């Protein structure tokens, strides 16, 4: 292996790369670097049909703190293109990666960031002898270990279950193009219309919304497409037919793109079996994350590298660590308002039990702290904050504080709310204003503040707003309360439409009669204090007899997040009321005349 340096100009849109060459076994690899050579080194490895240009928008950010090296892997760009298929076996590519790492920084291990086939090559490298001496960490994006994938497929075929069969079929459909790539000549015909920068960027924009201006490719794109097919032919069949997965002690950070058109998230479910130290972050994004959201990729990869270099992980990296069996919301950050008791408390506990780190907030600071303590006692991570959601400035400051201290929330549950019963004409202006401030404006403010953060981050998220069956069940004595909840319902459905293109789900939860403490704090208009107390006690006893507990609503909330549902009536009466209001609204209006409180 040898290394030589030269200088060359770069196109205006490209970083000011410094070029050098790495040679291994007669194969010359074109390499490029940015940043201070005395800093820890990060090596970026591209996939098909890219070159080092893939990292145009990622490398400069990383180079602010690190020595960054990217290279055209064999067969691509300015690197040599050995004849035949055998030279493109992963063993050869991994040996190239060792050589580039040695040339980039001979004195210490380097950090790897790989995408697509670049990640596949890096997996091969970090599972080889000597990997821990050469590689300090590995950030894997949209590229599995082929040996691990082969073992995953074999396990699903030999131990079939309805879920595993569905997963295997889903991946088979997503991978169908790899079978096409095994056929001589035909792939070139199929790919020819995509082999210019304009057509390729238009294709990526069409399939996953990649900004056209972010797609940077080499002038050799067409030749790279053809040449890169040899990676598929040299490795896919033999690795999947005879997998030999090997574990690695190199710290691995797996960025899983849940909207990846080629690789389904399920294939990464067994990665923890092969990585001694594994971190994982799921993103509602597509395959070409380095183009679609380069700032986010640079941020999370940088945070992971920082954590390895300093042994002090950021909050995002800390909660991404896999410490046991996989859970549904591992690695996520949730915020739940009104979490001191009732539905909010049970939702916070259930999210934590499913792996999420949870920020619990309530005007009852002691109650919020009790919920956070309960989460910690059960092995989760919880943080308590005092919060009055009726104060928009306080809610905005809270959202900003959460982002600064813990990161951008993946899940937000706007649960805080109050009740108001009795005749609408007897309600005071103060009662109406307080009701609207908490139940409607508080929900809208929380959705807007946290929603803006999610949009800026660009990897999706989910917002849950607590409405009520009263939103679609008109009734005497609940007119004002029902109006706020109807507002929450329609606001949530409208917001869901607005945020769909950002892959942020919005759910309106509509419980009916649930045994919580909301009745004990509900004001009843037109009654004296003693009359209110007696009426509340009577209604509370009825709710207790109903026996529908908050944990059941929490289960519905968690299921709705997982399934990305728009509107969820929870209790039986809510489900019935929703159908009646939709199909026979006159019956709802007739029923509203019955006196319930």
| Residues annotated catalytic, as ranges | 481
DSSP 248: B
Give the closest residue to 504 by CA, choosing from 558, 443, 451, 446: 451
**CA angle (230, 231, 233) in 5-degree steps:** 60
Do 113 and 42 meet the contact criterion of CB atoms below 8 Å apart? yes
**CA 570/CA 548 separation, integer angstroms:** 10
Residue 226 has, within 13 A of its CA and on its CB side, a CA count of 15
Residue corresponding to tokens 């056929």: 183
Cα–Cα dist 76/191, whole Å: 16
Tokens encoding 60: 């400069």
**Sheet with strand 567-569: strands edge to edge:** 382-386, 357-362, 333-337, 411-414, 461-466, 504-510, 567-569
Task: Retrieve residue 499's tokens.
Answer: 């945020």
String of DSSP letters for 57-97: TTHHHHTTTSEEEEEPPTTSTTS---SSSGGGSHHHHHHHH
* Residue 26 DSSP SS3: coil
CB proximity list for 276: less than 8 A, separation 6 or greater: 247, 248, 249
């Amino acid at each position: 292996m040898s290394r030589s340096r030269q200088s060359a100009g770069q196109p205006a849109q490209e970083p000011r790369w410094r070029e050098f060459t790495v040679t291994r076994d007669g194969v010359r690899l074109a390499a490029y670097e940015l940043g201070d050579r005395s800093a820890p080194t990060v090596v970026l490895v591209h996939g098909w049909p890219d070159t080092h240009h893939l990292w145009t928008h990622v490398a400069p950010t990383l180079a602010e703190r690190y020595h960054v090296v990217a290279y055209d892997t064999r067969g691509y760009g300015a690197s040599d293109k050995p004849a035949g298929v055998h030279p493109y076996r992963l063993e050869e590519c991994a040996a190239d990666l060792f050589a580039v790492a040695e040339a980039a920084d001979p004195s210490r291990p380097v950090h790897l960031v790989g995408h697509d086939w670049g990640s596949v090559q890096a997996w091969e490298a970090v599972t080889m002898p000597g990997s821990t001496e050469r590689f300090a960490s590995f950030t894997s994006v949209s590229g599995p270990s082929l040996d691990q994938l082969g073992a995953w497929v074999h396990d699903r075929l030999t131990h079939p279950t309805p879920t595993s069969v569905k997963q295997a079929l889903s991946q088979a459909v997503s991978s169908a193009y790899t079978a096409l790539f095994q056929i001589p000549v035909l792939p070139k015909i199929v790919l020819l219309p995509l082999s210019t920068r304009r057509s390729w960027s238009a294709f990526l924009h069409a399939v996953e919304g990649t900004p056209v201006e972010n797609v940077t490719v080499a002038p050799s794109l067409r030749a790279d497409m053809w040449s890169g097919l040899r990676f598929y032919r040299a490795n896919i069949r033999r690795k999947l037919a005879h997998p030999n997965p090997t574990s690695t002690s190199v710290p691995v950070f797996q960025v899983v793109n849940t909207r990846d058109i080629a690789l389904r998230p399920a294939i990464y479910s067994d990665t923890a079996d092969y990585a001694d130290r594994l971190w994982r972050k799921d993103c509602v994004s597509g395959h070409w994350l380095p183009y679609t959201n380069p700032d986010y990729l640079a941020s999370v990869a940088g945070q992971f590298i920082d954590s390895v270099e300093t042994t002090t992980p950021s909050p995002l990296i800390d909660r991404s660590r896999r410490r046991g069996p996989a859970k549904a919301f591992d690695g996520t950050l949730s915020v739940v308002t009104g979490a001191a008791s009732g539905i909010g408390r049970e939702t916070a506990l259930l999210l934590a039990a499913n792996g999420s780190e949870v920020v619990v907030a309530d005007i009852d600071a002691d109650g919020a702290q009790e919920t956070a303590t309960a989460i910690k006692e059960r092995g989760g991570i919880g943080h308590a904050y005092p919060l009055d959601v009726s104060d928009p400035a306080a809610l905005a400051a809270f959202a900003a504080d959460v982002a600064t201290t813990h990161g951008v929330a993946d899940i937000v549950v706007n649960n805080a709310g109050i009740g108001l019963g009795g005749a609408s004409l007897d309600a005071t202006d103060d009662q109406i204003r307080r009701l609207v401030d908490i139940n409607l404006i508080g929900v809208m403010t929380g959705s807007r503040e946290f929603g803006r953060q999610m949009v800026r981050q660009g990897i999706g998220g989910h917002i849950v707003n607590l409405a009520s069956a009263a939103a679609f069940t008109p009734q005497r004595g609940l007119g004002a309360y029902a109006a706020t909840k109807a507002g929450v319902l329609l606001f949530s459905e409208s917001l869901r439409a607005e945020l769909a293109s950002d892959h942020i789900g919005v759910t309106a939860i509509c419980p009916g009669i649930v045994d919580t403490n909301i009745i004990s704090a509900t004001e009843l208009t037109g009654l004296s204090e003693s009359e209110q107390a007696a009426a509340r006690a009577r209604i509370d006893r009825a709710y207790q007899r109903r026996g529908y507990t908050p944990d059941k609503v929490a289960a519905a909330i968690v299921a709705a997040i997982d399934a990305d549902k728009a509107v969820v009536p929870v209790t039986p009466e809510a489900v019935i009321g929703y159908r009646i209001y939709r199909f026979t609204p006159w019956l709802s209006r007739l029923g509203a005349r019955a006196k319930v409180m």
